[in-house]
């Protein structure tokens, strides 16, 4: 189903390209139409894009419990008012269960026992249960008991039914006269920085850090270090670093978090990433905008490279070229914003669908 949809879209896109070629002067629009990163996923499922909504159908989305207990105000018509998505009703009123089209279950509260699936209620055949998690399999616990119960997934995974990335690039024109240098913070004073809350020794990221700090100085901040940064200090601190260690807590397909988007790319430091493969990152950001730990045969080599790069103004600046054409975007409210987008994808969902083995799907 997903493939079918993708290829159909590609045909539309090719047709569009041909038409644009016929009108040469329109070609200037091509780059912004053709965001090469996450194009299909973003077009199919974005809060700000409700073109696919079947506006004659009402959709009721029931949030069974809020993620991490962050209760949101759903009074009024929030999806319409905030995102212009019509006929899309979001609520946490459990009495709506019998008529809800989708019921959202955030994973954390299910696995820690704070919340339970409503297995005692008669479940409408047409209703879709949505499993929602931002975490990687390492932190999702044992979800075997969900097998055969969830119809859809909502996660950072690009192949989730509802793709909710931690961030994405949006094409934008900075206008003429701007150069790459305008985007590089001027007062860099630290070579490499890292903000970390958990550096347990078994984590791959801790092992890389322990080797790296022997080769180059690494400024470490965060809960585990006694050098906490508050929200206001975070980005200015990162902007003073040439490199930021965007090291994920675990390595899984598509698991790329705010450590890349909000911290490094937004903070004005070049990301040194540890996470999924380089190829996986290249689906999300330009290949010359980051340094991957796997690009080097040893951490020592990585350290030597970073030292050299920081001293080479021109080459260092090349890592910021993407800023001339993209900005980093993310959800305004990560507990609320993705939910309204369910309505925009409703008509393209496979139906019926059920995840017989969610555990395996996560680790695929």
Ligand X SMILES: *[C@@H]1O[C@H](CO)[C@@H](O)[C@H](O)[C@H]1NC(C)=O
Which C-beta is closer to ligand X: that of 123 or that of 213? Answer: 123
Distance CA 34, CA 41 (A): 13
E-strand ranges in the chain read 59-63, 88-91, 102-106, 128-132, 152-155, 162-163, 168-171, 190-195, 218-221, 241-247, 270-274, 291-292, 326-329
186 forms part of the interface with ligand X (CB under 6 A): yes
As measured in angstroms, the least distance from the Cβ of 276 to ligand X is 25
Near ligand X by CB under 6 A: residue from 17, 20, 37, 54:
54
347 forms part of the interface with ligand X (CB under 6 A): yes
Which C-beta is closer to ligand X: that of 80 or that of 253? Answer: 80
DSSP 181: G
352 forms part of the interface with ligand X (CB under 6 A): yes
Nearest C-alpha neighbor of 305 from the set 192, 205, 209, 207? 192
As measured in angstroms, the least distance from the Cβ of 260 to ligand X is 20
354 forms part of the interface with ligand X (CB under 6 A): yes
329 forms part of the interface with ligand X (CB under 6 A): no
Near ligand X by CB under 6 A: residue from 125, 226, 232, 314:
125
As measured in angstroms, the least distance from the Cβ of 52 to ligand X is 6
Which C-beta is closer to ligand X: that of 23 or that of 200? Answer: 23
236 forms part of the interface with ligand X (CB under 6 A): yes
- Reduce the DSSP state of residue 190 to 3 states and report it: strand
148 forms part of the interface with ligand X (CB under 6 A): yes
Which C-beta is closer to ligand X: that of 87 or that of 253? Answer: 87
151 forms part of the interface with ligand X (CB under 6 A): yes
Interface with ligand X by CB under 6 A: which range of 42-50, 60-68, 154-162, 225-233? 42-50
Tokens of 147: 């097998």
Q: What share of the chain is helix, strand, coil (3-state, %, to 5)?
A: 40, 15, 45
Query: Contact at 8 Å (CB) between 358 and 153?
Result: yes
| Selected catalytic residue, list 135, 219, 248, 362 | 135
Which C-beta is closer to ligand X: that of 148 or that of 223? Answer: 148
Near ligand X by CB under 6 A: residue from 7, 8, 15, 31:
31
Q: Tokens 């995840």 label which residue?
A: 355
286 forms part of the interface with ligand X (CB under 6 A): no
Q: How many residues does the chain have?
A: 364
179 forms part of the interface with ligand X (CB under 6 A): no
User: Does the active-site annotation cover 282?
Assistant: no
318 forms part of the interface with ligand X (CB under 6 A): no
What part of residues 79-108 is at the interface with ligand X (CB under 6 A)? 87
Query: Contact at 8 Å (CB) between 118 and 64?
Result: yes
Interface with ligand X by CB under 6 A: which range of 49-57, 114-122, 309-317, 334-342? 49-57
Say if strands 162-163 and 128-132 run parallel, antiparallel, or are unpaired: unpaired
Query: Contact at 8 Å (CB) between 220 and 229?
Result: no
Interface with ligand X by CB under 6 A: which range of 61-69, 124-132, 214-222, 225-233? 124-132
Distance CA 1, CA 9 (A): 12
51 forms part of the interface with ligand X (CB under 6 A): yes
b/e code 317-343 from CB counts within 10 Å (16+ = b): eebbebbebbebbebeeebbbbbbbbb
233 forms part of the interface with ligand X (CB under 6 A): no
Strand-pair partners of 220: 194
Residues 6+ apart with CB under 8 A from 201: 207
Strand-pair partners of 89: 60
27 forms part of the interface with ligand X (CB under 6 A): no
The contact set with ligand X (CB under 6 A) reads 31, 43, 46, 48-49, 51, 54, 56-58, 87, 125-126, 128, 148, 151, 173-174, 185-187, 236, 239-240, 324-325, 347, 351-354
Tell me the catalytic residues.
135
């Amino acid at each position: 189903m997903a493939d079918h949809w993708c290829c159909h879209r590609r045909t539309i896109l090719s047709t569009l390209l041909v038409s644009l070629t016929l009108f040469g002067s329109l070609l200037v629009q091509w780059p912004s139409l053709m965001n090469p990163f996450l194009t299909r996923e973003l077009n199919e499922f974005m809060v700000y894009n409700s073109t696919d909504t079947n506006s004659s159908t009402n959709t009721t989305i029931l949030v069974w419990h809020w993620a991490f207990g962050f209760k949101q105000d759903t009074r009024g018509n929030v999806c319409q008012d905030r995102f212009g998505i019509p006929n899309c009703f979001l609520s946490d009123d459990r009495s709506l269960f019998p008529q809800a089209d989708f019921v959202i279950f955030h994973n954390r509260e299910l696995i820690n026992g704070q919340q339970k699936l409503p297995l005692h209620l008669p479940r409408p055949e047409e209703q879709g249960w949505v499993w929602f998690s931002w975490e990687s399999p390492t932190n999702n616990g044992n979800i075997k008991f969900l097998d055969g119960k969830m119809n859809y997934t909502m996660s950072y995974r690009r192949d989730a039914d509802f793709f909710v990335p931690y961030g994405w690039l949006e094409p934008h024109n900075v206008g003429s006269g701007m150069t790459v240098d305008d985007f590089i913070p001027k007062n860099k004073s630290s070579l490499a920085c890292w903000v970390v809350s958990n550096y347990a020794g078994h984590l791959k990221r801790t092992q890389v850090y322990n080797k790296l700090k022997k080769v180059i100085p690494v400024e470490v901040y965060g809960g585990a270090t006694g050098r906490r940064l508050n929200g206001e200090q975070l980005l200015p601190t990162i902007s003073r670093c040439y490199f930021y260690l965007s090291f994920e807590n675990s390595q899984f397909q598509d698991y790329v978090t705010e450590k890349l988007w909000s911290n490094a790319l937004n903070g004005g430091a070049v990301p040194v990433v540890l996470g999924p493969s380089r190829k996986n990152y290249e689906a999300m950001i330009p290949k010359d905008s980051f340094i991957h730990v796997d690009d080097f045969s040893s951490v020592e080599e990585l350290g030597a490279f970073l030292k050299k790069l920081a001293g080479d103004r021109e080459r260092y600046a090349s890592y910021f070229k993407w800023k001339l054409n993209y900005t980093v975007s993310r959800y305004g409210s990560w507990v609320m914003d993705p939910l309204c987008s369910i309505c925009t994808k409703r008509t393209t969902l496979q139906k019926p669908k059920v995840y017989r083995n969610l555990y395996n799907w996560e680790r695929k």
